[in-house]
Chain A
């Protein structure tokens, strides 16, 4: 290395970021710009776009044009789909939190040597493809799948318990896919928790529930917020899981957008839907930023 001053050295180091900046610009910012541009164009009848400016794609998110007199009428179809996706994501995030927290707590309280093994076990699902795992769930919960056959063999039920292509199947699939994203950040914040604080809580007359809600949860808050976002954000745009396990009975955001680019041949509409989803996620991130900052201030 040359004997450059600290400023020159900093300037030199800046070049190290070049590959990352190039990749993000090329495959992140540029496509996003294209999506923004396409969302503001008119759709061509056989896919693609006509190069005329139009806000139709955004307007038609909430309004339907009357075919006779061109007046706008409010329709809630898309809102309903967004609402449904939101509901699935909220439920999945909640289930992940409720079941992921005890798991993370359990791992964080193991001796350091065995913690690594438990963490490895949590990441095992990542070793195989999401599509394959989802199809495997399908095999388990089908009408003549392992679960139903097992329960009938045991005599618990006479007729198959319908699980596949239901809301339950979608939440189960989403929960299974995203649980590690909840457990890992929860673990990393619980691992840092000083368990002498728990003792101090008991010493000061708190019962188990109060120790959990008044001491452990507030201190683990940054991990909780991070885990919830890491589950919620991919959940709301999830495509494969709702499609396979939900049987396409209920349209979700992911399928909706895919459909616009596919069979509906309305690219501007698909682009607009994607941007609306992104705006929603950004709002969620902003909330996260606010809460995380508060959480950090607490933890310090």
Chain B
């Protein structure tokens, strides 16, 4: 049996188990368990693998608990052995130090492999398209630098094309999450985080704000609509022809705390996203932001190395600091 096939096989059983546990099986409302793109797929597989590995512990332990509690209950006439001084066995203890170590080692292997994997473009054959995401109070703004259009509270993407999201905020921290396409990333003021997602097929996917940001937070949900490439291009053309352009004043209006409808704009002020990111940085820090943001498509490797060298020269031991734009 090939590795893939075996995994599929195991998946089947785990689904069966999960189905029982979750009462209603994996209906389409179980977004995380219905991956619609390569990133979510990778994560889904990890969820399955880790579920199996922890089940290897959980199931026997619970069974053993039930057995021991029943067998050694204190009732008259219980014939089970009673050894009140038996309190040590090197063999046994070595065994149960080793079992979790082995499981953690296995799980650690898969985890680390995919951590590195997900930092990269999930689809090497297609050049990624960039979309910039800005979390505002309490709405999502999406700007398309390649198409020079913008949307608010809804996101349209081409299916089959990896999207490179650059995520920032002009408001308290939030988190950008489209479960069917893949896991989330924080949206933070003064820096741009990066997330690759791809929808394999056309469809509509629910998107969520997933880090609490105040009063209107629960209303920050949006839909992601994936369309075939041509349809997407047509949509862009339509947007260009029929909707107004976003001005600086429009943006300032959007920035004000409040919940709004969906909007679509045929253009947005040039370099607006970079400005939003740089607004909370200053001086020389801006170069870094500028240098990092409009990374040419396909030039991923050089970007990666600069990231790595930066990591090595970092003197701080606090994670999350190294990509901050204020940190030189």
Does B associate with A?
no
Q: Which residues of B contact A (CB under 8 A)?
A: none
